[in-house]
Amino acid sequence: MKIATWNINSVRARVDRLVAWLKAQAPDVLCLQELKCTNEQFPRAEIEACGYRAEVFGQKTYNGVAILSRAEVGDVQRGLNDGVDDDEARLISATFNGVHLIGLYAPNGQEVGSPAYAYKLEWYARLTRVLEQRYQSDQALLLCGDFNVAPDDLDVWDPRYFADKTLFTRPEREAFKKLRDSLGLVDAWRTLHPDLKAFSWWDYRLLAFPKNTGLRIDHFLLTPSLMARCKASEIDREARKGKQPSDHAPVWVELT
């Protein structure tokens, strides 16, 4: 079973790329982030024409997440549903083949010290509480998506330059670690590539992709029992090439 995640940075601007990638990679599940469209604007017909269903949690202009799958998913929930007043479409969860899936788009945080930065840290704390309240570490649970945090030095092209920059500040990395530790979750790609310096996002500016000045911020977090079934995980750097790409590459895991 192949499960993928991709921050597509506007699904309407890239529907042709999306369809081509689904046909080429044939994942069983693809979690999408940054749809930048409402449920009504989502290109459902094109997705269904290539054999996928779509559970969509859209929002006008910003955010928006979806779960595409070859077979029907169960128990779909949109949002954290933790009682906090929050209308940002950043999380969708479902079950598929006995696996609890959570597809998420964590807040970016803008500048350190800004309201958006505080919201990001609070959002991580809320998600951690939700995991602790609703799941157990012995379940088959998988979180994937754009976490907007580079966890370690190896995940940043220049850790010294990023030391006090959003996505790599100590509070963000600690919030990510607390989320991971809540259920003993494992960073699947890093576990399978312990010494590799590779990225999943590159700035559109400054020739960042050809210079490979990127960050690894798109992740799969698995409970230990699910990690035992994970034999492969890769970042599809090819999908960042060519005309009008998303600034993120897709990431996938293969589960036995």
Partner DNA sequence: ATGACGTGAGTATCACGA
Q: Determine the Cα–Cα distance for residues 223 and 206; give it in Å rounded to an integer.
A: 38
> What tokens does 37 get?
């469209």
Q: Which of 40, 45, 61, 170 binds DNA (CB under 7 A)?
A: 61
Residue 248, φ and ψ in degrees, nearest 5: -110, 150
> Are residues 40 and 253 in contact, defined by beta-carbon separation less than 8 angstroms?
no
Which of the ranges 60-68, 95-103, 176-184, 234-242 carries the binding residues for DNA, by CB under 7 A?
60-68
DSSP 62: S
Smallest distance from the beta carbon of 49 to DNA, in angstroms?
20
Question: 216 vs 18, 92, 168, 251, CA distance in Å?
Answer: 21, 22, 10, 10
Contacting residue, 22, 27, 30, 34, with DNA by CB under 7 A: 34
**Number of C-alpha atoms within 13 angstroms, CB side, residue 223?**
18
**Which is the catalytic residue, given 52, 117, 124, 146?**
146
Please say if 119 is a catalytic residue. no
137 Rama class: left (phi>0) / alpha (psi -120 to 50) / beta: alpha
Residue number, 5 or 148, with CB nearest to DNA: 148
161 is known as an active-site residue: no
Interface of this chain with DNA, residues 208 to 227, rule: CB under 7 A: 213, 215, 217
Q: Contact between 9 and DNA (CB under 7 A)?
A: yes
Tell me which stretch binds DNA (CB under 7 A): 45-53, 54-62, 134-142, 187-195.
Answer: 54-62
The SS3 of residue 247 is coil
Q: Does 180 bind DNA (CB under 7 A)?
A: no
Closest distance to DNA from the beta carbon of 249 (Å): 12
Alpha helices in 35-152 (DSSP H): 44-49, 115-134
Interface ranges with DNA (CB under 7 A): 7, 9-10, 12-14, 34, 36-37, 60-62, 107-108, 110-111, 116, 146, 148, 158, 160-161, 166-167, 201, 203-206, 213, 215, 217, 244, 247-248
Catalytic residue set: 105, 146
